[in-house]
Amino acid sequence: MKERASGSSGGARTGRRRRRPGRDGRAQRRPARAVASALLAASVASVAALGSGCSAGGADLAGDAGKAGAARLAGAAGVAAPPGGDAATPGSVPAGGSPSAGASPATGSATPSGTSSAAASAPASVPASAAASATASAPPAAPGDPSASGASSAPGPHRPGASTAGASPPSRTPELRPAAKPSVRPVPGAPAAGARPADAAGALASYAARVKATAAARLAAAKKWGLPTPPLLAPPPPAVKPVVPTRKGFEAEGGEQGLPPVFTRVPTKDKVVFLTIDDGSEKEPDFLSMMSELHVPYSAFLSDYLIKDDYGYFAKAQASGVTLSNHTLTHPYLPGLTHAQQEHEICGQQDKLAKEYGKRPTLFRPPYGNYNGDTLRIAKSCGIKAFPLWETEAFPTHMDWRDEAQHFEPGDIILTHFQGPSEWKATMVENVRNLLKRITDQGYAVARLEDYV
């Protein structure tokens, strides 16, 4: 017989079966297949012995006969037995470096053709007599059993006195199964995996059609309301709202840290302005329609004595996305009132708006832009977070600028009023239309104040 290598350790061991004295002093010779069958039976016997708690039997199996059996099986497999009687595991890496001969590429271990994985992993220290007595009763491999076709099994943990050696190389290369492909979730809104090109093209065409229809609707709304072009769309709001400090020179006498800031401009680099409308005397239905169709946001600062005759009008505005904020109950000059009177005007309007519209405002604008330290402290106690005033005021015929610069700056707050022909010689639609045209001509968009403050 030819020699068979035992790995890359540099040594080679013969494949001839050797004559070794057994426990009874007689020479024993066993074919590799018989050894594997004996190991299967020995494995069953060993497990049964361990399960029944026969410690004496376990000690006997671990004795001299077990060491001799391990050496005998190692010689039959062409693998060196380590000190103590444990045979080296096929596929393990010796001191030289590479796996032993006959190792499976997948797991580093191999099961001989026609030998079950249980037999290959049986303890090598089982006496030959015990293995021989159980061989005859070993059941044949079931059809379709991987061990009957020579398929490799995953190696279990190595135990002292146990070995997977003692079997001849497999008669054929173990079958390698491809790894399962990981499941991939589709991106929301993207065509499903495997979608036909026609489906993807159809989705893109549908999206393009919607964009075109929206642009056409905005253009039609602009023409309907007398604008040459639609208002510019505001960019997405900031992920984190900017810190808005009190404008220099607008500090209240006797004010302290922690009071609501008073400001006329929001710190931002976006080319946006903010439209705010005060009071509430004029309730023009066409104005609500125009702002809704043009998708222009605005904030309303309301006084109860002017809106109480038609709370429903501003409920419609709120339903379209308008934030309703506090402008006192009766629009008085607050610095001229006592602490109790200011509290009634500010906190009383908070209660009114919460009752009628289900939400207490967080923004407050004092009438005429006048306030003092009491105003700030009282407003804070009622839940107010900020005092947005204005940088410029819009009238039907002109703009009233606070500063010398006669143009918009990023973050400007614009003031106008719910007033119509009874106060001005123009409707609200005409007044705001002129303002929107001016904003668009300067390259600005109207953004929602509450997205920044």
**437 in the Ramachandran plot: left (φ > 0), alpha (ψ -120 to 50) or beta?**
alpha
Three-state DSSP at 436 gives: helix
Three-state DSSP at 190 gives: coil
- Stated as kind and residue range, the H or E segment containing 387 is strand 387-388
| Residue 16 burial (C-beta neighbours within 10 Å; 0-12, 13-18, 19+) | exposed
- 36 close to 112: Cβ distance less than 8 angstroms: yes
Q: In this predicted structure, what is the pLDDT of residue 40?
A: 55
Q: In this predicted structure, what is the pLDDT of residue 126?
A: 40
Strand partners, 386: 363
Give dist(CA 184, CA 346) in Å, integer: 57
Neighbours of 408 (CB within 10 A): 20
Give dist(CA 132, CA 134) in Å, integer: 5
Per-residue pLDDT of the chain (453 residues), as tens digits, is 333 333 333 344 343 344 444 444 444 444 445 544 555 555 545 444 444 443 444 334 334 444 444 444 344 444 444 444 443 433 333 334 344 433 333 334 333 334 433 333 333 334 444 444 434 444 444 444 434 444 333 344 444 444 444 444 444 554 555 555 544 455 445 555 565 767 788 888 888 898 899 899 999 999 999 999 999 999 999 999 999 999 999 998 877 789 999 999 999 999 999 999 999 999 999 999 999 999 999 999 999 999 999 999 999 999 999 999 999 999 999 999 999 999 999 999 999 999 999 999 999 999 999 999 999 999 999 999 999 999 999 999 999 999 888 999 999 999 999 999 999 999 999 999 999 999 999 999 999 999 999
Helices (H), 151-278: 197-224
What is the gyration radius of the CA atoms in the chain, in angstroms?
45
Cα distances from 26 to residues 43, 116, 125, 127, 403, in angstroms, run 24, 29, 18, 14, 117
- 315 close to 322: Cβ distance less than 8 angstroms: no
Q: In this predicted structure, what is the pLDDT of residue 33?
A: 52
Q: In this predicted structure, what is the pLDDT of residue 116?
A: 39
Q: In this predicted structure, what is the pLDDT of residue 25?
A: 42
Q: In this predicted structure, what is the pLDDT of residue 323?
A: 97
Residue the block writes with tokens 């929301």:
188
Neighbours of 82 (CB within 10 A): 14
Three-state DSSP at 265 gives: strand
Give dist(CA 339, CA 376) in Å, integer: 11
Neighbours of 351 (CB within 10 A): 13
Q: In this predicted structure, what is the pLDDT of residue 45?
A: 52
Cβ partners under 8 Å of residue 419, min gap 6: 279, 281, 282, 428, 431
Q: What is the DSSP secondary-structure string of 388-433?
A: E--SEEE-SS-EEESSS--S--TTBEEEEES--TTTSSS-HHHHHH
- 432 close to 399: Cβ distance less than 8 angstroms: no
Residue the block writes with tokens 């590799």:
32
Calculated CA dihedral for residues 326, 328, 332, 335, nearest 10 degrees? -70
Neighbours of 263 (CB within 10 A): 21
Cβ partners under 8 Å of residue 223, min gap 6: none
Q: In this predicted structure, what is the pLDDT of residue 399?
A: 96
Give dist(CA 295, CA 321) in Å, integer: 10
Residue the block writes with tokens 């906190």:
347
Question: Which of 220, 215, 207, 212 has the alpha carbon at shortest distance from 233?
Answer: 215
Neighbours of 7 (CB within 10 A): 25
Q: In this predicted structure, what is the pLDDT of residue 254?
A: 72
Q: What is the DSSP secondary-structure string of 25-85?
A: S-EE---HHHHHHHHHHHHHHHHHHHHTT-HHHHHHHTSHHHHHHHHHHHHHHT-PPPTTS
Three-state DSSP at 207 gives: helix
Q: In this predicted structure, what is the pLDDT of residue 195?
A: 57
Neighbours of 317 (CB within 10 A): 24
CATH T-level assignment (fold) for domain 221-451: TIM Barrel (3.20.20)
Strand partners, 275: 414
Cα distances from 88 to residues 40, 106, 112, 157, 448, in angstroms, run 18, 19, 16, 13, 76
Domain-wise residue ranges, the chain:
29-168, 221-451
pTM of this structure: 0.58
